[in-house]
């Protein structure tokens, strides 16, 4: 007859693993680890960035166009929404939202947070004052906020 000899150290390790596994199986509920907005946990957050396209024409002339990305966002009517814009290209973009009193500046490498609440349906334009390009062949830097 063969005897199996188990050292006390291995017995304690196995017991510890069984206890940890049992604890995990009994308490396998997901726990919240982070909440950015404790006052309104269900608040819709929309993320945007500034972007730049540039190219060189055959005559050596450099052309560029700036944009908000995404260029069109849908916002529910009568709901609190947070618009978060991160500046990627361009040093700064002073902006306003047409039809509102909302104004601000998006700076390169920084996040600009804009709380929104629209009571009327419609399309509101987010316009960069620096890149309006009126009278030029370059498109203006405009995003469309569609409230529905």
For the chain, the first-to-last Cα distance in angstroms comes to 81
CA distances from 73 to 66, 107, 118, 147 (A): 17, 21, 13, 9
Phi, psi of 18 (to 5 degrees): -65, -40
The pLDDT profile of the chain, 148 residues, written as one tens digit per residue, is 787 888 889 889 999 999 988 887 887 666 565 555 555 556 899 999 999 888 999 999 988 888 999 999 999 999 999 999 999 988 899 999 999 999 999 999 999 999 999 999 999 999 998 876 665 567 789 999 999 9
Q: What span, in angstroms and rounded, lies between the C-alpha atoms of 4 and 104?
A: 75
* DSSP track, 58-71: TTS-EEEEEEEESS
* Domains within the chain, CATH numbers bracketed: 44-147 (2.60.40.420)
DSSP bridge partners of 114:
83
Sheet holding 44-56, edge to edge: 62-69, 44-56, 81-86, 111-116
For the purposes of burial, counting CB atoms within 10 Å of the CB of 126, is it exposed (0-12), middle (13-18) or buried (19 or more)?
A: buried
pTM over 0.85, yes/no: no
């Amino acid at each position: 007859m063969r005897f199996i000899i188990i050292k006390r150290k291995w017995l304690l390790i196995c017991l510890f693993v069984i206890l940890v596994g049992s604890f995990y199986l009994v308490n396998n509920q997901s726990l919240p680890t982070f909440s950015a907005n404790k006052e309104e946990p269900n608040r819709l957050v929309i993320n945007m960035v500034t972007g730049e396209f540039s190219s060189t024409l055959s005559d050596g002339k450099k052309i560029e166009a700036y944009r908000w990305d995404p260029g069109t966002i849908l916002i529910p009517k009568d709901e609190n929404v947070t618009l978060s814009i991160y500046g990627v290209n361009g040093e700064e973009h002073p902006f306003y939202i047409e039809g509102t009193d909302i104004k601000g500046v998006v700076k390169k490498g920084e996040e600009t947070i804009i709380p929104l609440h629209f009571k009327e349906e419609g399309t509101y334009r987010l316009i960069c004052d620096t890149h309006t390009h009126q009278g030029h062949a370059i498109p203006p830097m405009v995003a469309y906020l569609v409230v529905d």
